[in-house]
Amino acid sequence: MEQGLVDEVLKAVRERGIQNILALRGDPPRGEEEWIPSDPRFTHAVDLVSYISASPEYSSDFCIGVAAYPDGHTESTTDEDKEIDYLKAKVDAGANFIITQLFYDVDRFLRWLEKIRSKGITIPVIPGIMPIQTYSSFARLTKLCGTRVPACIAEDLAPISHDDQLVKDYGIKLAVQMIRRLRSEGGIQGFHFCTLNLEKSVQRVLETLRWAGVTPPVHNKLIQDTPGAMKSPAEMGPPDLLITPTSATNTATSTLATISVTDGEAGRGELNNAATWDDFPNGRFGDFKSPAFGNQDLWGGSGLSRSDVLAQWNDPKCLDDLTQIFLGHLHAKILTTPFSPTPLSSESLMILPHLERLTRRGWWTVGSQPAVDGVSSGDKVVGWGPRGGYVFQKGFVEFFCEEKDVNVIESRVERNGLDWVHYFAGNYRGECRSNVPEDGRNAVTWGVFPGQEIAQTTIIEKESFLTWKDEAFSIWSEWASFYRPGSEERKLLEGVRNERWLVSIVHHDYKDPQALWTFLFDGNDS
């Protein structure tokens, strides 16, 4: 924050009745190796805690929380004892409660809790609990946060990693087990759920713990015909042995209001209960109207680190260097790219020759999927959702290319697309070209499961494309910022950002696995 802005924020939140403040230092700006304070009064989180708690203007208005990292901070090079000393300093400065980073190793957390208690830290500790949603998101987040995963959890997930429903169910069961242990063995009284805007699993955890969705049992009563004005349930007082028409109506009404929606069926189109839209979240390709829609990774931002930039991607100085980076990822010589935080998936290996051909052309691929026609939902490569179903996919690919290539693609769509091909193309300057109707939406992945209507997990539309397009070009900016101004690397990366287009193409003939590639290559590589 800029100098003086802290006071403005504190006054503004106080006026709005906000009483709980989580005091964090914050992250370094994108591309910066070190965090540099914009206000010299606040170099560390402890400075902000001290400022609030010691100020006569604010001390009585706020309850101050601070962060802790039972598995260690991803950027820290200090040992656990030193980390605890930093935490103790924040507590001594006036912190009132602690919220921890997410974790899955309860044994390690309990040892850490005992250790901080022995150091004199007695304020409440609120553990961060994140129910596992999908195996891929779990793998990304644990890597991003440096979270330790016990061997038993990895072993449990291995045989079910391709079944989204089983993974989700396991995540709920694991969260419940963790909470029960933390309460019984650690005396923990409160928990912080990391929802990532996916509330359904948290709701099921709360109901399993009987912390939500539980209504008092109704005992047998005598029916009495007593006229009178209807009262609210709060005014009725404790139940007795008599039930009047008024109380029966109130009871029925209040009971209906508390019925859980967690059993709603997934896949009833856009009009279905919103809680089911994200049963099987699929990252940025989901519904842009969903609260879980958004960033490339689930924390937001690309997560670029200096170690990745220097160790994996070297120092690109020309376009061919960039082509080699993308080819290296396809050939598993490089584990990640700035646009793909994980190695190439087994699904992408099905279309590897086509991706390689595009990349050698200078069309750097950042997203793709093969066409799939009625494959078992239990398939280890393309399966998802409950077992016993069938999944379908339209061929899709997304890549960066030059404007002249966009012109070629556009002409080819007009000449050979025959309404089978839809595309979006956008650039850093905000230009967008497409043959998709303004409100058009392309469902490119869907599934049919026993006892359910069709579930659509992957939707490509203008709003979602534009959101991802802006983020994709910001990644080029972030990558460039790791190099000094005027350097060959920075000029190259900023030039690519300014000149290239992001193109997204879908071929609707999912019954022909070669349809998309036949269209794209059109018999040549020119």
Q: What is the CATH number of the domain that holds 39?
A: 3.20.20.220
The Cα 107–Cα 152 span in angstroms is 12
Are both 304 and 200 inside the same structural domain?
A: no
Report the Cα 7 to chain-centroid distance in Å.
32
The Cα 422–Cα 435 span in angstroms is 6
Does 470 fall in a domain? Answer: yes
Does 101 fall in a domain? Answer: yes
Does 225 fall in a domain? Answer: no
Could you give the dihedral angle defined by the CA atoms of residues 371, 377, 379 and 383, in that order, rounded to the nearest 10 degrees?
60
Of 134, 208, 145, residue with least CA distance to 171: 134
Does 475 fall in a domain? Answer: yes
pLDDT in tens, the chain (526 residues): 565 688 888 999 999 999 999 988 765 554 444 545 556 677 778 888 998 998 888 888 999 999 999 998 766 656 889 999 999 999 999 999 999 999 999 999 999 999 999 999 999 999 999 999 888 889 878 887 889 999 999 999 988 887 778 899 999 999 999 999 999 999 999 999 998 778 889 999 999 999 987 665 555 554 444 444 444 444 444 444 444 444 443 443 344 333 333 333 333 233 233 334 345 544 444 444 444 434 444 334 455 666 667 677 889 999 999 999 999 999 999 988 888 877 888 899 999 999 999 999 999 999 999 999 999 998 988 988 888 999 999 999 999 999 999 999 999 999 987 789 999 999 999 999 999 988 888 889 999 999 888 888 778 888 888 888 998 999 999 899 889 999 999 999 999 999 999 999 999 999 999 999 999 997 555 4
- pTM here is 0.63
- Report how many domains make up the chain: 2
Cβ atoms of 432 and 463 within 8 Å: the answer is no
Does 282 fall in a domain? Answer: no
Strand extents, DSSP E, 136-279: 192-193, 222-223, 242-243
- Domain ranges, residue 425: 293-521
Question: Among 154, 186, 208, which residue terminates a domain?
Answer: 208
Of 41, 33, 46, 103, residue with least CA distance to 73: 103
The token pair at 343 is 């190695």
Question: Among 208, 224, 251, which residue terminates a domain?
Answer: 208
The Cα 422–Cα 443 span in angstroms is 12
Are both 338 and 477 inside the same structural domain?
A: yes
